[in-house]
Structure 1
Amino acid sequence: MKRISVDIGGTFTDCFFVWDEQYVEAKALTTHHNLALGFNEALDLACSRAGLDRATVLSGVDSVRYATTLGTNALIERKGPKVAAIVTHGFEDTIPLSRGRGYGEGLDQSLQQNLPAAERPEPIVPRRLIRSVKERVNSAGEIVARLDPDDVRQVLRELVDAGAEAIVVSLVNATENPAHELAIQEIFLDEFPAHELGATPILLGHQVSGRKGEYVRSTSTIIDGFLHEIMFHALSQLSNNLRGSGYDKPMLVIHNSGGMAQMNSTDALQTIHSGPIAGVGAAEHLSGETGLGHVISTDMGGTSFDIGLVPEGGVKHYDFLPTIDRWLVSVPMVHLDTLGAGGGSIASYDRIHHSIKIGPESAGSNPGPACYDRGGLRPTVTDADLLLGYLDPDNYANGYIKLNPRRARFAMEEALCDPLDLDVLDVARSIKDGVDEQMAIGIGKELRVRGYLPEDFTMLAYGGNGPLHACGIARHAGISRVLAPPFSSVFSACGAGNMKQLHFHERGVHVTLYNATTRRLYDDYAEFNAVVEELESAGREDLIRQGFTADQVRYRLELDMRYGNQLLTQAVTVEDLDRVRGVGDVLHIIKKFGDVYSHRFGASSAAPEAGIRCNTIRVAAYVAGDVVEFASLDSGGPRTVPEPVSRREVVFIGIEGHIDTPVYDETALEPDRVIPGPAIVTTQNTTFLVEPGWRLEPTQQGAVWFLTD
């Protein structure tokens, strides 16, 4: 296996490089003006560590996988084309009204509780660029009012004259019958051919989302249209960069559904949060191979802290109506909770509470934390870590970045010490403890809202800052087992290397598996199987277009189910069925749903007497491939304490004064060693902080256990 996997974050670009049996990790600062430059720098570093040159590697690898936060950043900054929307006549205000909830979606809980003070997000499609066409399709897919081509031409001309750079079409009940959306697309291409108007994209709602619900399907298509041009040019730039360096295969893009595809089979919407979700995929793979049990994955990078949940058995949680930025969308996305807490998170003075506020604003890679000495003037979490003695100024990121403690001290004094009337170390302590507590609260909330207890989980701490803050986060969260996984500093990039080429296709349905009123089981098997066959066919065509044969494609059936009229919908994976052929299969699905529901909410919570419904049928079409093999996490036998390479005065939370602390290098992370706290281990790509009361037990492939004494 020869493979390059890249995760481009807000601060660092992570590279995981596989060359036969050799695994190499490397990092470089993200170059936001041209992502290819940061990619090249990280790849060159990985190649040099492997003793190879870039041209040899790119001409020899089987694939390059790419995950990015570019789409997320573009939404935050509102940098994109002018998008227009075409809707069914009478539904012109569906998008602006946003179900009457648009002012609250995407806000944290504290802001949602103060809705009178909440502000609606700046619309991506302003009201003046929303037009309607006279047409109507009913809920059964029957055409009630036919589309008028002349009306469509007039609407298209008005939008083009108004400066529309992307056009979104989202008509009522188009998922049941897309004929009118397809007709509008045909008229547009006839009226404004590409050689006259240029490459103005027109996106159809039923192609972006197959589920019912006009509003969420419209917002999904609008975001896709808004990001389309940005992602196309950025990914094309990277693709051209690869091609110019000798790579002649299609570039693969990681999807937030937990899979990947070639660029020509990727919607811009599918790239949102793709990097952190690759980390959740790696956690799932590690858990399955090593029998870790319940796992909570935590990725602490320079900009954010991402929390993913992998219960025992490797079943990921999905969001089927996730919120992206401030918009509710309708795409199946691996569940991820993101906090604005990373190494670059800015610490500021909160005048109201006379305290320190950490994040969500980040210093990013440019200018970066004050200690980077690149023009940053505001204190960050990394500045606090440096002043507390956790980081080596001359050996940060393998010496790639030289840290300046005086800059960190100056920034902290100016912004925080004076208004709080505290010395620098007290402020640094507050920042370190505050950010650890903030992340622990996020973990606790994520687990308890889904019916789990933190003490039942192993915490995976990865990302550039994960092992540095692991003990502090676990202490606040009540977790006693923490694992820094193999290749922890680039674990999300490693996860990208394990992804399958996969496509989800779904369709909203009204299937009553058990009718509580008539006490009858569902028996229209042909209707159900026809939908499954249609979705399998769409997924098969996607993968055949990418060079696979039909017999290589595998399928996984998933159903969104609920009891009666409950709002809560539970996804159920039915891997042992591909069709419903009789009463026994219906009962099997019902039992599967009951088991999943009871496991999550308790045995007494199931309510089959209310009826059982299926709202969505989803098929995952995928092709399995080679994956990175993780070594065992068990290492029996006696352990010895290694000799430190130096000692350093370090400040720990809850302990007065400085502590003379042993410092180790990566040679101390051998499987037969144990490192009691307090201690610091500095490696090429990250720093392990062992707080008092903890010990470090290394295993294979650089994986390290943090355990309480």
Structure 2
Amino acid sequence: MKRIAVDIGGTFTDCFVCWGDEFIQTKALTTHHNLALGFNDALDQSCEMLKLSRSDMLAEVDSVRYATTLGTNALIERRGPKVGLLITEGFESTVPLSRGRGYGDGLPDEQARDLSRARRPDPIVPIASIRTVKQRMDYRGKILLDLDEADVREKLKQLVDRGVQAIVVNMINSVENPEHELRVQEIFEEEFPSSMLGAIPMVLSHQVVGRKGEYVRSSSAIIDAFLHSTMYYAMSALEQNLRTNGYGKPMLLVHNSGGMAQLNSTDALKTLHSGPVAGIHAAEQLALQSGTKNFVCGDMGGTSFDIGLITEGGTKHYDFNPVVDRWRVTLPMVHLVTLGAGGGSIAKYDAIFDTVKVGPQSAGSDPGPACYDRGGMNPTVTDADLVLGYLDPDNYANGAIPLNKRRSYQALEDICDEMDISEQDAALLIKSMADSEMAAGLVRELNGGGYKAEEFIFLAYGGNGPLHCCGIADKAGITEILAPPYSSVFSACGGAGLDQMHIHEKNVSLGFYNKHLRALYSDYQRFNELVEELEQRGRDDLLRQGFHDEDIKYSLELDMRYGIQKMEVSIELPNRRLTKPADVLNAIEAMNDDFGKRYGHEIVSPESGVWVTTVRVVSRVDLGTVTFSELVPPAPLPVQPDPVAFRECYFNSGDGKGSDGAMETPVYGAAALEPGVCIEGPAIVNPGSTTYLVEPGWTFKAAAQGAVWFSKAK
């Protein structure tokens, strides 16, 4: 196995290289103006460790996989083209009304609690850029009104005259019959050939998502169009950089569904949150290989803190109608929650509550925290960690980024003056507030799923995860933490173990038990033909990317609900075809079991009717994953390593009111990661790639592959 996996974050570009039996992890600052520069920097560090040139490595490697937050950041910053929308006449208010959800979707909790003061987001497609065309299909795809082609030509000219740089086409019920959407595209190419107008992308809604729901399908296609140019040019530049350096294979992009595909088989919408999703995949593999039951994942990087759940059996959770920024979309996305809390999160004085507020604004990588000495003036969580003594100014990120402690003190001055406290107390307050916000996010996520925090292990990774994990766990009521192997680049590690995968789905309304007729579903031919159609679409995707038919594996999932209930569960059908009543009964029984576990067995009610609302086929090619060693910490070594230094550090006192003063804290080097090492807190372990902070009351235990367990007496 020779692979390069890259996670391009808002602050750091993480690189994970599998080279036979060797695994290399490196970091570089993200270069937003040209992502290839940060990638080359991180890759060159790996080449130096392997004593290879960049061109030699790229010539031998099997694949290069990218996960990136570029699309996420572009959406947050509203950096994108002018988008126009062409929709069925009579439905022009679908997007502006947003099903009445525009006020609440995507708001932070404190704002969602007061929707009377909430404001809709600025629209990506303003009302003036929406045009309607005369056509109509019914819910089965039967044409009720033919497409008025003259009307289409006129409306396209109007949108072009408005200066739109991307056009979305959403014809009602086009997922049942895309004929009119496809004809609109043909008319557009006839009226405005590329030789005359240039490359204005046209996005057809049925090609982006396969489920009904006009608002969510519209918003999905609009976001895809808004991000298309940004992602296309940035990813093309990365691919060209690979070509220039001797890499001749297709570049692979990580999808937020937990798989990946080639650039020419990737919609921009599928790249959103792809980096954190790769981390969730690595956590899933870790749970499966180690037999660990329940993980709550916390990826703390420089810009954000991403939360996900892995429950017993190594199962990750999916959102089928996730909220992206402020818009609800419809695509299968691995479930995660993102908080604006990371090492680069900016702290400000909050005059109302006479305290500090941390995030969601971030200093990013340019200029970065004040201590980076790159022009940043605002205090960040990283500045607080440096003032508290947790970070080594000369050995941060393997020494690649020297830290200027004086700049951190200067950045804290305003907070100190407003609150009349010392720099150390201000830094402790920043750390405490950041830890509290992340702990609250973990608890909300666990409670929302009906879980108890004490039943979960906190899987802490990302560049700052092992540094803040004890403080977060303390506040969340969790007593066991695992910092996994390669924790500082764990999401990139997850990207190295992904399979190529495509998901295709279709809305249906199939009564697996119709209570009015008191009958089981029996139209097996219709069901099997639909499954075959979805399998064929996945097969075509993978064959186009160079795989063989015999390499492709399929799984079938059904979204099911009782009667007219809104709560749906997704179950996997082991047999992908229906041939007898027992197959239908097995599906209903699987639905009853899953529904009971989620919502309570007392409300399982198949007698009210059982309906299948979505048929989903996952097509994949297994490419092998990163193998993790046994994670159980061995017996303590008879001789423990000695500290390499001592440093004055500050910790929050037991009552949470400031510190008890400086504590002489031992600092350990890479020797502390040898399996069997056991260290009582307070202590700092800094092997160079990341910093492990063992707070008072916690115990550090090293396991294989650099994994570390933190435990606290209950």
Q: Same fold (TM over 0.5)?
A: yes
Matching residue of 2:613? 615
Equivalent residue, structure 1, for 2:627: 629
What is the RMSD of the two structures over their aligned residues, measured on CA atoms?
1.0
Q: Is the 8 A contact 1:297 1:461 kept in 2?
A: yes
Give the drift of 1:607: 2.2
Is the counterpart of residue 689 in structure 1 residue 688 in structure 2? Answer: no
1:99 matched to 2:103: no
Deviation at 1:628, TM superposition (A): 1.1
1:584 corresponds to which residue? 582
- CA distance in 1 between counterparts of 2:106 and 2:394 reads 41
**C-alpha distance in 1 between matches for 2:669 and 2:8:** 27
Aligned pairs (5 A) from 1:174-185: 174-185=174-185
Distance 1:409 1:7 in 2: 31
Amino acid corresponding to residue 578 of structure 2 in structure 1: V
- Please, which moves more after superposition, 269-278 or 104-113? 104-113
Provide, for residues 319-353 of structure 1, a one-character-per-residue CA deviation record: whole Å limited to 9, x for no partner: 11111111110111000100000000001011222
User: How far is the alpha carbon of 1:246 from its aligned partner?
Assistant: 0.4
Cα distance in structure 2, aligned partners of 1:635 and 1:668 = 13
Alignment of 1:36-435 (within 5 A): 36-414=36-414, 416-435=415-434
- 1:497 pairs with 2:496: yes
Instruction: State which of 684, 688, 703 in structure 2 corresponds to 1:699.
Output: 703
Maintained 8 Å contact 2:633/2:701: no
C-alpha contact (below 8 Å) 1:296/1:457 kept by paired residues? yes
Give the CA deviation at 1:163: 1.0
Deviation at 1:313, TM superposition (A): 0.9
SS in 1 for 2:316: coil
Aligned mates of 1:140, 1:626 — CA distance in 2: 41
Deviation at 1:490, TM superposition (A): 0.2
Q: CA deviation at 1:105?
A: 1.0
- Residue equivalent to 2:656: none
Corresponding residue number in structure 1 for 2:517: 518
**Partner SS state of residue 571, structure 1:** strand
Pick from 648, 668, 685 the counterpart of residue 672 of structure 2. 668
Amino acid paired to 1:168: V
Alpha-carbon deviation of 1:109? Answer: 2.3
Q: Secondary structure at the match of 1:253?
A: strand
Question: How far did residue 14 of structure 1 move?
Answer: 0.1
Q: Does 1:27 align with 2:31?
A: no
The C-alpha deviation readout for 1:641-675, integer Å capped at 9, x for no partner, is 32111111111111511111110001111002111
Q: What's the secondary structure of 2:416's corresponding residue?
A: helix
Per-residue CA distance 1:624-652 (angstroms, 9 max, x = gap): 01211111112433434321111111111
Q: Deviations over 1:267-319 (max 9, x none)?
A: 00000000000000000011001111111111000000000111011221111
Q: Which whole-Å CA distance do the structure 1 matches of 2:636 and 2:341 have between them? A: 38
CA shift digits 1:421-462 (9 cap, x unpaired): 211111111111111111111001101111111111111100
Q: Take 2:626 and 2:196, find their aligned partners in 1: how far apart are those partners?
A: 48
Give the aligned partner of residue 439 of structure 1: 438
Within-5 A mapping of 1:465-504: 465-504=464-503
- The count of aligned residue pairs is 707
1:603-634 alpha-carbon deviations (Å, 9 max, x no partner): 22322232211111110100001211111112
SS at match of 1:5: strand
The answer to whether the 8 A contact 1:12-1:28 is kept is: yes
Counterpart-to-counterpart distance in 2, 1:701 and 1:53: 26
Q: Distance in 1 between matches of 2:634 and 2:689?
A: 27
The amino acid of 1:690's aligned partner reads V
In 1, Cα distance between the equivalents of 2:672 and 2:83? 56
Q: Is the 8 A contact 1:480 1:707 kept in 2?
A: yes
Q: Could you tell me which amino acid in structure 2 is paired with residue 681 of structure 1?
A: V
Distance 1:195 1:683, change over 3 A: same
Which whole-Å CA distance do the structure 2 matches of 1:586 and 1:617 have between them? 14
2:498 is matched by which residue type in structure 1? M
**Matches of 2:217 and 2:302, distance apart in 1:** 33
> What SS does the corresponding residue of 2:315 show, helix, strand or coil?
coil
1:539 and 2:543 matched: no
Deviation at 1:396, TM superposition (A): 0.9
Normalised to the residue count of structure 2, the TM-score between the two structures is 0.98
In 2, Cα distance between equivalents of 1:555 and 1:215: 30
Tell me how far apart the structure 2 counterparts of residues 271 and 636 of structure 1 sit (CA, whole Å): 40
Which whole-Å CA distance do the structure 2 matches of 1:257 and 1:571 have between them? 15
User: Which amino acid in 2 is paired with 1:420?
Assistant: M
Contact 2:646 2:664 in 1 (8 A): yes
Measured in 1, the distance between the counterparts of 2:486 and 2:113 equals 41
Counterpart-to-counterpart distance in 2, 1:350 and 1:512: 55
Residues of 2 paired with 1:552 and 1:440: CA distance?
43
* Aligned residues of 1:642 and 1:674 also touching (Cα < 8 A): no
Q: Is the 8 Å Cα contact of residues 137 and 173 (structure 1) preserved in structure 2?
A: yes
1:669 and 1:551 map into 2 onto residues whose CA distance is 43
Measured against aligned partners, the alpha-carbon deviations of 1:53-88 in whole angstroms (never above 9, x if no partner) come to: 111100000000000000011111111111111100
Deviating more after overlay: 627-636 vs 445-454: 627-636
Q: Could you tell me which amino acid in structure 2 is paired with residue 533 of structure 1?
A: E
Q: Does the residue aligned with 1:75 lie in a helix, a strand or coil?
A: helix
SS of the residue corresponding to residue 577 of structure 2 reads: coil
Unmatched 5+ stretches in structure 2: 654-658
Q: Tell me, in whole angstroms, the C-alpha distance in 1 between the residues paired with 2:635 and 2:389.
A: 33
Name which of structure 1's ranges 35-44 and 518-527 shifts more when overlaid on structure 2.
518-527
For residues 583 and 33 of structure 1, do their structure 2 counterparts lie closer, same or farther at Cα, with a shift above 3 Å needed?
same
Percent sequence identity is 57
TM-score normalized by structure 1?
0.99
The answer to whether the Cα contact below 8 Å between 1:82 and 1:163 also exists between their aligned partners in 2 is: yes
1:601 CA displacement: 2.5
The whole-number CA distance in structure 1 between the counterparts of 2:605 and 2:430 is 47
Take 1:407 and 1:10, find their aligned partners in 2: how far apart are those partners? 22
- Matched-pair contact (CA < 8 Å) for 1:642–1:675: no
Q: Give yes or no for contact 2:511–2:609 (8 Å, CA) kept in 1.
A: yes
Q: Is the 2:636–2:678 contact (alpha carbons within 8 Å) kept by the matching residues of 1?
A: no
- SS across alignment from 1:475: helix
Q: What 5-or-longer segments of structure 1 have no aligned partner?
A: none
Deviations 1:104-145 (A, max 9, x none): 111022212222221111111111111111000001111000
Cα deviation per residue 1:165-219 (whole Å; 9 max; x = unaligned)? 1110001111111111111111111221122211111111111111011110000
Question: Which 10-residue stretch deviates more, 271-280 or 521-530?
Answer: 521-530
Partners of 1:448 and 1:602 in 2: how far apart?
15
Deviation at 1:573, TM superposition (A): 2.1
Query: Using the alignment, how far apart are the partners of 1:115 and 1:161 within structure 2?
Result: 37
For residues 345 and 568 of structure 1, the distance between their equivalents in structure 2, rounded to whole angstroms, comes to 36
Inter-partner Cα distance in structure 2 for 1:259 and 1:511 = 29
The amino acid of 1:660's aligned partner reads E
Cα deviation for residue 578 of structure 1 reads 0.8
Amino acid aligned to 2:345? S
SS in structure 1 at match of 2:534: helix
Distance 1:515 1:529 in 2: 19
